Structure 1
């Protein structure tokens, strides 16, 4: 059933992708253009290695790349998380698949296959938590039918998270196995290496994996300070996380951003604090334990910040991640600088705003959110009850906490509780709460929360112990077989309701046939390939430049992978083509970066989609301290002395013709040669 659920999801994603683009019928350039924004940049390296004369030359060109940031040689394997593209290209060439499958289909089918495994992992996690195969089907169905809020793989195939999430949820499944209280030694010996592999692959394939691992490490810290999982097991997981990050750091030629990640500062801090807790906070009693909880949390956060900021970043001088912290400070109103260009690029995007309420409406329509809310709330209440029992009630002598073996639970009270002997469920309860807070604060990360919804909602509905306690509270005396029958009947009923509600719209979507249509971009790419030298360097918006590199192979001066300080500074300079600057100033900036052609997009120059203050031209004006059109003048703002470059250049005035010559134009793009 796990295989059937996963393969159904993989087939659905593949079919929707085909139906939306008519992918099998469009030209190769159109297929490449369909890899929008940064996905096109990542796919270009797969294409580059597949088409290289030899594998060794292809790898050399990746390590010594002078096309991605023209005028500068960079190591692609160090800067970007593209090992998945390297592996796929090597497999394609070494397995001699050229006559069997086209490179693009080999690539996209691999991603859809991984997402089939993702659903299998959710099935397995639910089955382990509930003991019901029917609950596994329900969680898979929740994930599939709520795809608007659980995945976006069908239209962001090459996005880093599309590669990373399957390994993340495989890791979640393995953690569920690992935290089982009666884990057999042989099973543990098999689980730990698999945990290492999945955590490593997750970290290797996504540049933001470190932040997901940080939240996971914090959730594990919560489990440790609440004594719901043996500290020894939690230490092992922390070591796996740290080892994976360090291994990725080596694979990425000692990438400094990985070394300076907060999670690598949190883990040693947490391990020290937990050791301190085991030695000091051993007394029972609610006031003592609550004081210890607050003190432990405070100490670990302070230790993490001090270790990261004043030790690691002093030794390893880097500010590659400063834009992320500026974004976080701005998002939560902790920064007085509202003119940070990099932070505003994120803050102005809907994806980085708070989770909209219509998300909960959609999830409720397809049943998952109401069930999840009830199950998770009840689980949190039971967790609280369990912890309070543990804090208040004397327990039998369990010895030194450091000596608990892997098969032992923490010394919880002997009073009955749903979570007393289920540390794996306690972990999921805390983890879902942590990732729920992240998702509510930042829309883009809802995909780290909604699969938790699917698992907990399905597991809660079919949980055997829950039904036993519920029926006992209702004074219904049922045999074990009748309890099993009751929970399966209810689970099957919810599954039937879900199919009745969601299946018609899914079938209707499958029957909706569309076709890729972007003639202006196709015309631009074909013109570039035909009319410009292979050495010509292009400047434009980050998103468009990724497409130019993929479709034409021409050098570009900027791109959407924004995790480098020099690139961010370069992008701010090059975006002066959308500012109000003298043409001579713009020309000097472009020549400093050896730009041959600039591509101006009318959709940016005359943008109306974003609110005032969030249009790209507004952000450029803000950086230049110019008065923003449609906004109140700030204390530092000055009236611009020149017209907006992207608009005024159309006039063909002598001061523009002196530096720029229009060589291509259609309804969407204008291309100028830089003299």
Structure 2
């Protein structure tokens, strides 16, 4: 089949001879020929090898952390009560709910004991599922009860191995993110190796296993990887929908497993807002990310028996403010530079004012004062007031 070569040229003039040209094989009717078979084969081999390396590094990290934990505590050689004592501070509290669910006569009775708990606080009955992020313990205990593993694996080992397994997910997500950003899995290999070698600065899972961050951060890393893929150009509609679903699931699980998710996602939302204002990201995709963050938090709010602290978070107020400001201000990215700069300044001021007003209104309606100490601390930190 005969082919012709086309040279990219500038508008109204031919391309200069000293500039590199991009040549593609096309048919006489203008259709681009498919890539040569060798290129596709190389891509398949590269993706396969990169995927195998990612999974291997993830499993290696999981085994490595488990070995460190075993060598530090001789976990397999101590008594059951000593294993439970090794969960320090609030770690033991979280594990106690997992143990309570397993020892309950039924799943329903275990859930009832968490909803009407009179052991955690003296002379008070509280709802643990509303007060704390312990749905992961609930899910894990139910999984342990229904799986035929009781004869082979003790509850405490099922618990810690699950968390060590999540470290594999964490490393694989970092690997994939670096791969997507650089275009080569060698960069992912470097990122994963740096995470493992700098373990002291990146994780404390081997000695504070049940902490909420050890549950949540792997899902946050998955969310970052999914967002990185979502922001790529030329995605097919089906790919975009699947990626948005992955972002939503990861965001929901991250929000469900850690009470401090709001602050990390607020930083994420601010970064998206800045990049969107500078016209560095597609507005439609950023809007979907705002909606996903709001939806994930609202779903967690429902599961936590309408926890008012979630509704009063700055993240929800900020995201709602951005969406409202976009409706009020249209054609934000059109016009000359002075015009766009003026619109941008007005847009930022509008979003900030709306955020403060909406947040103040929600807290006034719901009578929220639980997080006021955070703002007092920030004001004192920047020299605007005292902590008392």
Q: TM-score, normalised by structure 1?
A: 0.49
* Pick aligned residue for 2:309 from 253, 257, 276: 257
1:134: which partner in 2? 186
Higher RCO (CA < 8 A, seq sep 6+): 1
- 1:162-181 aligned at under 5 Å gives the runs 162-181=214-233
Once the two structures are superposed, residues 28-76 of structure 1 have per-residue CA deviations (whole angstroms, 9 ceiling, x without a partner) of 2221121111111111100111111221111100000000011111000
**What is the CA distance between 1:190 and its match in structure 2?**
1.5
**What is the CA distance between 1:128 and its match in structure 2?**
0.9
1:580: which partner in 2? none
Asked if structure 2 preserves the Cα contact closer than 8 Å seen for 1:225 and 1:274, the reply is: no
* Pick aligned residue for 1:24 from 61, 73, 76: 76
**What is the CA distance between 1:277 and its match in structure 2?**
4.6
- 1:465-476 aligned at under 5 Å gives the runs none
1:296 aligns with 2:354: no
- Does the C-alpha gap of structure 1 residues 187 and 281 become closer, same or farther in structure 2, counting only changes over 3 Å? closer
Local SS of the residue matching 1:116? helix
- 1:154-553 aligned at under 5 Å gives the runs 154-280=206-332, 282-285=334-337, 287-309=338-360, 311-337=361-387, 340=388
In the alignment, structure 1 segments of 5+ residues that lack a partner are 341-675
Once the two structures are superposed, residues 328-364 of structure 1 have per-residue CA deviations (whole angstroms, 9 ceiling, x without a partner) of 3333333223xx4xxxxxxxxxxxxxxxxxxxxxxxx
Once the two structures are superposed, residues 287-346 of structure 1 have per-residue CA deviations (whole angstroms, 9 ceiling, x without a partner) of 44333333322321221111101x211221122222322333333333223xx4xxxxxx
Asked if structure 2 preserves the Cα contact closer than 8 Å seen for 1:2 and 1:120, the reply is: yes
- Does the C-alpha gap of structure 1 residues 27 and 328 become closer, same or farther in structure 2, counting only changes over 3 Å? farther
Q: Could you tell me how far apart the structure 2 residues matched to 1:69 and 1:217 are?
A: 36
Once the two structures are superposed, residues 566-612 of structure 1 have per-residue CA deviations (whole angstroms, 9 ceiling, x without a partner) of xxxxxxxxxxxxxxxxxxxxxxxxxxxxxxxxxxxxxxxxxxxxxxx
**What is the CA distance between 1:275 and its match in structure 2?**
4.1
Q: TM-score, normalised by structure 2?
A: 0.84
Once the two structures are superposed, residues 234-273 of structure 1 have per-residue CA deviations (whole angstroms, 9 ceiling, x without a partner) of 1101111000000000000000000111111001111223
1:145 aligns with 2:216: no
What's the RMSD between the two structures over aligned residues?
A: 1.4
Q: Could you tell me how far apart the structure 1 residues matched to 2:332 and 2:78 are?
A: 67
Count of residues in Structure 1 that have an aligned counterpart in Structure 2: 336
Asked if structure 1 preserves the Cα contact closer than 8 Å seen for 2:279 and 2:333, the reply is: no
Q: Could you tell me how far apart the structure 2 residues matched to 1:277 and 1:140 are?
A: 43
Asked if structure 2 preserves the Cα contact closer than 8 Å seen for 1:224 and 1:274, the reply is: no
Q: Could you tell me how far apart the structure 2 residues matched to 1:72 and 1:212 are?
A: 32
